[in-house]
Amino acid sequence: MTSTKGKSLLDQPWRLWFTQLRAMVRIVNSRNLFTWRGAWVYFLAFAPTFIIFIHAVASSRLRHGDTIDTDTKVLAGIFQFYYLRLGIFFGTLGIFARLIRGEMVERSLHYYLRSPVRREVLLLGKFIAGAVRSLVLFESAVFISFVLIYMRFGEAGRQYVLDGPGLSQLFSYLLVTALACFGYGAIFLLFSMLMKNPAPAALLFMGWEVISSVLPALLQRFSVAAYLKHLMPVSVPAEGIFALLTVNTEPIPAWLAMLGALLLTLAVLIVSCWKMRTLEISYTTE
Amino acid sequence: MSDRIEFDNVSKFYGEVLGINRVTLSLPPGITSLVGPNGSGKTTLMNLMTGLIQPTKGTLSVMGLQPSQADEFFRMIGYCTQFDSFPRGITGWDFVYDSLMLHGMTQKQASDLTSEALTRVDLGQAAHRQVAGYSKGMRQKVRLAQAIAHHPTVLVLDEPLNGLDPMARAESIALFQELGKQGMHVVISSHILEEVDRISDRVVLMTGGYVIAEGNIHQVRQEVREKPMQILVRCARPELLASRIFELDHCVEARLHADGAGVFLRTQDVDQFYILLNKIVTDGLVQIEAVTPADDDANAIYQYLIGSDGGQS
């Protein structure tokens, strides 16, 4: 049994698929990575970075009450309330929803569909290209914001980052950013194949993400945010309306949360591959 | 492996809208023209044979392969759609080159084939300009270049002559003929019936999602027996010939040619007509210079079967 299955898998043209995947990613990114049309996504990614930069320049001298601990909490707040809930969410919506639906609207998707590439390879190529673009934007935005926050503190900031908990916090932020890009990206890619305008569904999904923390444990498995919150390096004290935007779920190990987010992404991608296999061009109705 | 494009009782519905219905076809290599008015199902038929859509019912294969065998199927097919749209900001070179890279080729192979295809459609000079700045004819050409760049065995062209100037049109037709002679399948849909007529080995006439006639253009005309066939007889005294033919009670209509040196005659039985014409000639009544069928072309057949000129200008 195992040998038959294993043999058929080995017989697949993996090398060809890899070459086609690489070509696909290059083509999509050469057309989309830096464009004026995508300027609003750059704004979403770098708006907080710019504000932190202005703040760092304007108040280069530390005032009374400026502590690393305070700024660490500020950064955690920016990351949780802005990046995770708004920036990455809407940024990936703009990037991934355009990959399929945008090409349908521009009537250029058929150039891909009639190439000798398996639909699954096409879909994965599009996903990886979107992931590369969103990672480049949001990882660099988060990284620069992090550096700017601690740079103000000079030697103390350097020590906090290199000898203290700073580096592991940075790693966690980058990991959560990557998992958010993958998870939301996969979901919005699927939305863009299922409906002409994925924006309303994305807003509903945003509501789902917001209330996921008060949902039963079983339902939380279908939320990206529910996994990511367990990977946050710094908890943010939240009150009032902001309490809904932060997580108060039972803690689970980081590796399990990471695995959960990746499995959710994988499951959505499998559904997308199935949808891609049966996707037909009907430009007249687009 | 089969060398044909086969449709076996294929139907395609878009929800409740009919695309094509119960189409059974077997197309051999050569140039095949799809003729029919707008909405007759030509593009649906082409989208089906290029794997862009799947049939609701029935099966189809191209050279023995089915669209589900994507790796081989799409390598064999070149499709120039009627959609005049391109990825944003792309150059003519990148448009062709990128599609070849998706075949899994090396950069060298893709580059060589891109250059060859663009030269073949006479776009070498404009290759590195953005497609958005091309004229309509140039955009048509670059799509054609992309369709032929990987040397497909089946080339499907949806309205390929649209937007081309007379010179480019003549060049494209010559290219299609050359490809057809090389044993390739060239399937063309066009409203320009004279050109279709001139280059096609066979026609498929469609209306309302149905194939109503198929085959060699002259055979199809012969099959349309209920319509009187029109024959142009070039002779010195056409009015005499017309009266003699009418005396024999054979023709249903006679009309003098505008130059006065010939007559159009309509007959229900063309075989019997030629026998009578031979007799008149041997009797020495008129001297005949030439006899040619006047409605043995796609346009006439199209009008007889579909009842319109298909939007021909």
pLDDT digits (tens, 9 = 90+) for B220-235: 766 666 667 788 888 8
Flag if B83 and A282 touch (Cβ within 8 Å): no
Q: What is the pTM of this model?
A: 0.80
Of 3.40.50.300, 3.40.50.720, 3.30.110.60, 1.20.58.2050, the CATH number of B5-215 is 3.40.50.300
Of A134, A176, A185, nearest to A260 by C-alpha is A176
Across the interface, of B52, B71, B146, the residue whose CB is closest to A118 is B71
Provide the token pair at B4: 């044909």
Distance of residue A279 Cα from the nearest chain B Cα, in angstroms: 8
- Whether chain A has a CB inside 8 Å of the CB on B15: the answer is no
pLDDT at B246 over 80: no
Q: What is the pLDDT of residue B212?
A: 85
- Boundaries of every domain in chain B: 5-215, 223-303
Q: What is the pLDDT of residue A10?
A: 65
Across the interface, of A110, A115, A283, the residue whose CB is closest to B102 is A115
Provide the token pair at A247: 């997580």
Q: What is the pLDDT of residue B152?
A: 93
Q: What is the pLDDT of residue B221?
A: 65
CB A224 within 8 A of CB A173: no
Test mutation, A114, A117, A273, A279, chain B, max B CBs within 10 A: A114
What is the C-alpha to C-alpha distance for residues B274 and B283, in angstroms, rounded to an integer?
A: 14
Distance of CA A67 to CAs A25, A49, A73, Å? 44, 19, 10
DSSP B243-301: HHHHHTT-EEEEEE-TTSSEEEEEES-HHHHHHHHHHHHHHTS--EEEEEESS-SHHHH
Q: Maximum Cα–Cα distance for chain A, whole Å?
A: 71
Q: What is the pLDDT of residue B110?
A: 95
Which region among A75-79, A210-214, B218-222 has the lowest average model confidence (pLDDT)?
Answer: B218-222
Q: What is the pLDDT of residue B200?
A: 86
Question: Chain A residue with minimal CA distance to B72?
Answer: A116
pLDDT at B65 over 60: yes
Spatial CB neighbours of B181, under 8 Å, sequence gap ≥ 6: none
- Whether chain A has a CB inside 8 Å of the CB on B107: the answer is no
Q: pLDDT tier at A4 (50, 70, 90 boundaries)?
A: very low
Q: What is the pLDDT of residue A66?
A: 74
Question: Chain A residue with minimal CA distance to B76?
Answer: A116
Burial A109-135 (b: 16+ CB within 10 A, else e): bbbbbbbbbbbbbbbbbbbbbbbbbbb
Give the N- to C-terminal CA distance of chain A in Å, as an integer.
46
Selected residue with higher pLDDT from B172 and A91? A91
Flag if A19 and B53 touch (Cβ within 8 Å): no
What is the C-alpha to C-alpha distance for residues A247 and B175, in angstroms, rounded to an integer?
A: 66
Q: What is the pLDDT of residue A285?
A: 46
pLDDT at B309 over 50: no
Of A41, A206, A222, nearest to A133 by C-alpha is A41
pLDDT at B249 over 70: no
Averaged pLDDT, A13-33: 90
Q: What is the pLDDT of residue A246?
A: 55
Global ipTM = 0.81
Averaged pLDDT, B115-121: 93
- Whether chain B has a CB inside 8 Å of the CB on A31: the answer is yes
pLDDT at A37 over 50: yes
Q: With pLDDT > 70 as the criterion, what percentage of chain B qualifies?
A: 89
Q: What is the pLDDT of residue A236?
A: 75
Q: What is the pLDDT of residue B148?
A: 93
Q: With pLDDT > 70 as the criterion, what percentage of chain A qualifies?
A: 88
Across the interface, of A19, A107, A114, the residue whose CB is closest to B74 is A114
pLDDT at A276 over 80: yes
- Whether chain B has a CB inside 8 Å of the CB on A13: the answer is yes
Fold of B223-303: Alpha-Beta Plaits (3.30.70)
Q: With pLDDT > 90 as the criterion, what percentage of chain B qualifies?
A: 33
What are φ and ψ of residue B127, in 5° steps? -55, -40
What residues of A are in contact with residue B49 (Cβ under 8 Å)? none
Give me the residues of B, 67-96, that contact A with CB < 8 A. 70-75, 77, 79, 81, 83, 85-90, 94
What are φ and ψ of residue B68, in 5° steps? -65, -20
pLDDT digits (tens, 9 = 90+) for A146-155: 999 998 888 8
Which region among A97-106, A186-195, B132-141, B160-169 has the lowest average model confidence (pLDDT)?
Answer: B160-169
Q: What is the pLDDT of residue A240?
A: 62
What residues of A are in contact with residue B52 (Cβ under 8 Å)? 110, 113-114, 280-281
Average pLDDT, chain A: 86
Q: What is the pLDDT of residue A244?
A: 57
Selected residue with higher pLDDT from A88 and B38? A88
What is the C-alpha to C-alpha distance for residues A123 and A132, in angstroms, rounded to an integer?
A: 14
Spatial CB neighbours of B258, under 8 Å, sequence gap ≥ 6: none
Distance of residue B83 Cα from the nearest chain A Cα, in angstroms: 7
Q: pLDDT tier at B170 (50, 70, 90 boundaries)?
A: confident
Flag if A31 and B70 touch (Cβ within 8 Å): no
Chain-centroid distance of CA A267 in Å reads 16
Question: Chain A residue with minimal CA distance to B71?
Answer: A116
Average pLDDT, chain B: 84
What residues of B are in contact with residue A35 (Cβ under 8 Å)? 88-89
Provide the token pair at B266: 């309509």
pLDDT at A165 over 80: yes
Give me the residues of B, 32-51, that contact A with CB < 8 A. 47, 50-51
What is the C-alpha to C-alpha distance for residues B19 and B7, in angstroms, rounded to an integer?
A: 14
What is the C-alpha to C-alpha distance for residues B213 and B201, in angstroms, rounded to an integer?
A: 14
pLDDT at A2 over 70: no
CB B58 within 8 A of CB B48: no
pLDDT digits (tens, 9 = 90+) for A245-261: 555 556 778 899 999 99
Alpha helices in chain B (DSSP H): 42-49, 70-76, 92-101, 107-120, 136-148, 166-181, 193-199, 217-223, 238-247, 270-283, 298-306
What is the C-alpha to C-alpha distance for residues A80 and A91, in angstroms, rounded to an integer?
A: 15
Burial A35-55 (b: 16+ CB within 10 A, else e): eeebeebeebbbebbeebeee
